[in-house]
Structure 1
Amino acid sequence: MSLLEVAGVSVSFDGFKAINNLSFEIGEAELRAIIGPNGAGKTTFMDIVTGKTRPDEGQVLWGETSTSLLRLSESQIARAGVGRKFQRPTVFEDQSVEDNLLLALKKNRSPFGVLAFKKSTDDADAITKLADEIGLGDQLTRKAGELSHGQKQWLEIGMLLAQDPQLLLVDEPAAGMTLAEREHTTDILKKAAGTRAVVVVEHDMEFVRRLDCKVTVLHEGSVLAEGSLDHVTQNQDVIDVYLGR
């Protein structure tokens, strides 16, 4: 069953068609990689799903009830269960790793709920478990600003997982990472996809190969090819417009 279905979506900016009759769907516990040349529409696709950009036509349907995400605001879409990680890590650098994860936990965010909040044993356990999952179990008291680039990426992924999203959109997580950091990042994302949908936009083909998942190739705002990495990289159209560059 589909968790997210994008059907016949198009959007233009000043006459340029960034997304052109795009259709895409992903299941409830699935890992998917999206690749394609610059300008293929990868970022615009994520902008549409998260409510940052409104398409000119088409549908974006969510969950068992096929709720239209196009009727919801960005904050409502986030609360519905869509989490997004941008390419540059965004963490609270003056706060500890533990505090960053605590701030991100899914909680009552009303003014009274925030004022009355006290960390419970369950909260502490959840933070410890999350920190272990992202490889920062021994860094809880360290300031986020002191972490390496890769560790900051893991912390931000952990902060998104703390919100318990049903769909996680991740933009170029391997950028700027060492080989060991990239390998650990694939492990984090593969494990996350066991309980939720994870969409990874990436240029690093070795990183995509390690993800070992279905790949969607975008070109000029449309799906050019879809299947395993071996399948799409043998597609002549994909070679011509992307891999041959």
Structure 2
Amino acid sequence: MNPLLEVSGVSVSFDGFRAINNLSFRIGRAELRAIIGPNGAGKTTFMDIVTGKTAPDSGSITWDGSRRSVFARSEARIAREGIGRKFQKPTVFEEQTVQENLLLALKADRRPLAVLRYRPFRQHLARIEELAGEVGLSNALQRRAGELSHGQKQWLEIGMLLAQEPRLLLVDEPAAGMTLEEREQTTAILVAAAKTRAVVVVEHDMDFVRRLNCRVTVLHEGAVLAEGSLDHVTADRAVIDVYLGR
């Protein structure tokens, strides 16, 4: 089966520094993948390229079997085509309720006239309740987002991204600052999401990566250093030397 996303021989430099170096990466249509690596390995730049924020100098990105380059399109177009990204710090509308945040994110007609006339239908509210259940916020729909814990805000933002029905979800260090209980819930959310879409998790916490129980890609100096199960990559001498031994 063709991968959902395939990155082939991509390189990008900033002021003479090669942040991504002939990188190749592929992920299936319903797959959970963790990306690890030392600071400066190219993890953030990789996500910037996939979401259209940064244009590479060379190489190609194939999206859903199309040979048209994804990075030749605008960030908004890329998002509409089904690529969603969650940054490390949660970004929610803190003065709005959880329900209102999810409604605002719901995939719908965003043309000006449609937005002015928008009223949530029963199916929209049902979808919001479903999303809240998926991210563990069923009992918090009427709470202001600003009242939520750090972990709950992370779940809300994941819910907002899921509301847009992405086919690929990029998540940056979701476990940072979470309690053990929140990490367990976050693991469950991401594992469930990957049953119907591709999910890429960039993470430093090896315990959290182990909980994900998925294929791991190790980046170093902008290229793939190793790939496989967590046990496989953590036993790799090169990975130990450049990352785990630090």
Query: What is the TM-score when the length of structure 2 is the normalising length?
Result: 0.99
Aligned to 1:187: 188
Moved over 2 A (4+): 64-67
Structure 2 counterpart of 1:16:
17
Instruction: State how far apart, in whole Å, the 1-side matches of 2:243 and 2:103 are.
Output: 41
Separation in structure 1 between the aligned mates of residue 244 and residue 87 of structure 2, nearest angstrom: 24
The percentage of aligned residue pairs carrying the same residue is 71
Moved more, 204-213 or 66-75: 66-75
Alpha-carbon distance in 2 for matches of 1:191, 1:153:
16
Is the contact between residue 183 and residue 208 of structure 2 (CA under 8 Å) also seen in structure 1?
yes
Could you tell me how far apart the structure 2 residues matched to 1:37 and 1:170 are?
17
Give the whole-Å Cα distance in 1 for the aligned partners of 2:130 and 2:69: 34
Which digits, 9 at most, give the CA deviation of each residue in 1:143-177, with x for residues without a partner? Answer: 00000000000000000000000000000000000
- Cα distance between partner residues in 2 of 1:76 and 1:129: 27
In 2, the alpha carbon distance for the partners of 1:187 and 1:137 equals 15
- 1:237, 1:174 → 2: CA distance? 26
- Aligned ranges 1:81-160 → 2 under 5 Å: 81-160=82-161
Matched residues in 1 for 2:48 and 2:192: separation? 25
TM-score w.r.t. the length of structure 1 is 0.99
Query: Could you tell me which residue of structure 2 aligns to residue 73 of structure 1?
Result: 74
Report what 1:34 is aligned to: 35
CA distance in 2, matches of 1:65, 1:58: 15
Offset from partner CA, 1:163-197 (integer Å, 9 cap, x none) = 00000000000000000001100100000000000
CA distance in 2: counterparts of 1:141 and 1:194, whole angstroms: 29
Which residue number corresponds to residue 53 of structure 1?
54
Range moving further from structure 2, 63-72 or 52-61: 63-72
- Per-residue deviation, residues 45-95 of structure 1 (Å, max 9, x unmatched): 000000000001000110133431022000000001000000000000000
1:212 aligns with 2:208: no
SS of the aligned residue for 1:33 comes to strand
Structure 1 distance, partners of 2:145, 2:117, is 25
Secondary structure (helix, strand or coil) at the match of 2:218 reads: strand
Name the CA distance, whole Å, in 1 between partners of 2:205 and 2:88.
Answer: 13
> How much has 1:108 moved relative to structure 2?
0.1
- Aligned mates of 1:67, 1:202 — CA distance in 2: 30
User: Which residue does 1:199 correspond to in 2?
Assistant: 200
- Aligned-residue CA RMSD in angstroms? 0.6
Distance 2:201 2:79 in 1: 17
One-letter identity of the residue aligned with 2:224: V
> Cα deviations across residues 107-138 of structure 1 (Å, max 9, x unaligned)?
00000110111100100100001001100000
Q: Equivalent residue of 1:180, what SS?
A: helix
